[in-house]
Chain A
Amino acid sequence: MVDKRSVWMVVPGIAIWAQLFLGAALAELNYVDTRMLFLAAYFLPLIVMAVGFWIGRTGWLQIGFVGSLLPAFLVLPKEDHLALDDPLAVLWLCGLVGLYLVMGTDWFSGARLESDEVEHESLASVGLEEGANGGRRPVAAMFSGHQQHFVSRFVVSLWLFCVITYAVFFDTGIQATIRAAFGGSEQIAVSFLAVSMFFVWCMVVYMMIVVPAMNLEYDQRRLQLSTVAMAQTRVRRLAGLRIFVLVLLSVAAGWAVFFVQ
Chain B
Amino acid sequence: MRGLIYDIIGLGFMFASGYFFYRCVEFLAQKDYVAGLIALIAGFVMVRAGSEISKLGLFIQRERS
Contact = CB atoms under 8 A, between A and B. Distances in A.
Contacts of A211: 51
Tell me whether chain B's interface is mostly helix, strand or loop, or mixed. Answer: helix
Contact of B18 (A153, A159, A189, A196): A159
Interface stretch (A85-93, A115-123, A162-170): A162-170
Nearest to B18: A163
Interface string B26-65: 1011110000000010011001101100110011001000
B25 A204 contact: no
Contacts of A177: 26, 29-30
Given A167-B25, A216-B55, A223-B59, 15 more contacts: A149-B54, A152-B7, A152-B11, A156-B14, A156-B15, A159-B15, A160-B18, A178-B29, A181-B30, A197-B21, A203-B44, A204-B44, A207-B44, A208-B51, A219-B55
A30 interface: no
Interface residues of A, number: 33
A174 B29 CA distance: 7
Contacts of B25: 164, 167-168, 171, 174, 193, 197
A152 B17 CA distance: 15
A236 interface: no
Contacts of A168: 25
A227 to B, nearest CB: 11
Contacts of A242: none
A27 to B, nearest CB: 27
Contacts of B22: 163-164, 166-167
Contacts of B18: 159-160, 163
